Amino acid sequence: MYEVFNTEFRHCFAMPNSNTMTIKPIKEFTENWINFVTCKNNLPLGKAVIVDPFAKDCKLGTITNDLNTECDTDYHMRAEDFLDKLIDEGIEADVVIYDPPYSPRQISECYKAVGIQTTQQDTQASFYTKIKQRIREIVKVDGYVLSFGWNSMGVGKEGFRYEEIMLVTHGGAHNDTICVAQRRIPQLLSDMDSDDKLLEDEECQLTLSI
């Protein structure tokens, strides 16, 4: 049993950097989708609600968080606590930037940098599951999740449509960075209705660079 997705795919090369959003094609991928959502929702420039729970020093989000207090973000909390706070406040995101540590080793390094002892639970798959569950709750219908990592799962396919996958090759022994754009769709939306919605977005698609 398998499913076929009608997803745009791109492939490019760029030098690696631990700060994801300083990599030119990845930053452009993110900015293009933010601009697209702003256009599609008829929002004034800069008024989209963009949540970034692992921001580091990225300035593309409007509500930002990073555990490291040396990062210039709005909050310095564990990502699940940060997202719980926004959920409790009734925040609905137009875009969520999901750029977590990509591996258990990276999780340990991030925690060590801020003096937190890593537990076995922190480095299990449940670390990602807890974050994804909260992201799925906070993003509004027709909102987008932009995910970055070493796989293309994003936040899962249930209730979301894959719109674009961009593979960024870094050369040598470096893992590729996989960038995924997903749109949240109503749970009961039929495939036909979803396709119709894509047609309505054609004008805004012109804002995406090829």
Query: What residues are paired with 51 via a beta bridge?
Result: 63, 96
Query: What residues are paired with 161 via a beta bridge?
Result: 183
Lowest mean pLDDT among 9-13, 120-124, 206-210: 206-210
Q: H-helix or E-strand containing 98?
A: strand 93-98
Express each pLDDT in 154-183 by its tens digit: 999 899 999 999 999 999 999 999 999 999
This prediction's pTM? 0.86
Q: Quick check: 161 and 183 in contact, CB under 8 A?
A: yes
Q: Quick check: 163 and 154 in contact, CB under 8 A?
A: no
Express each pLDDT in 16-59 by its tens digit: 999 999 999 999 999 999 999 999 989 988 899 999 999 999 99
Please say if the pLDDT value at position 83 is more than 80: yes
Question: With pLDDT > 90 as the criterion, what percentage of the chain qualifies?
Answer: 69
Query: What residues are paired with 93 via a beta bridge?
Result: 139
93-98 and 8-13: which strand pairing?
Answer: unpaired
Helices in 44-165 by DSSP H: which ranges? 79-88, 104-113, 126-138
Lowest mean pLDDT among 41-55, 58-72, 85-99, 111-125: 111-125
Pairwise CA distance, residues 205 & 4, whole Å: 22
Shortest CA distance to 53 belongs to which of 71, 39, 28, 33?
71
Query: At 80, which amino acid appears?
Result: E
Confidence (pLDDT) at 196 = 47
CATH of domain 8-205: 3.40.50
Confidence (pLDDT) at 114 = 76
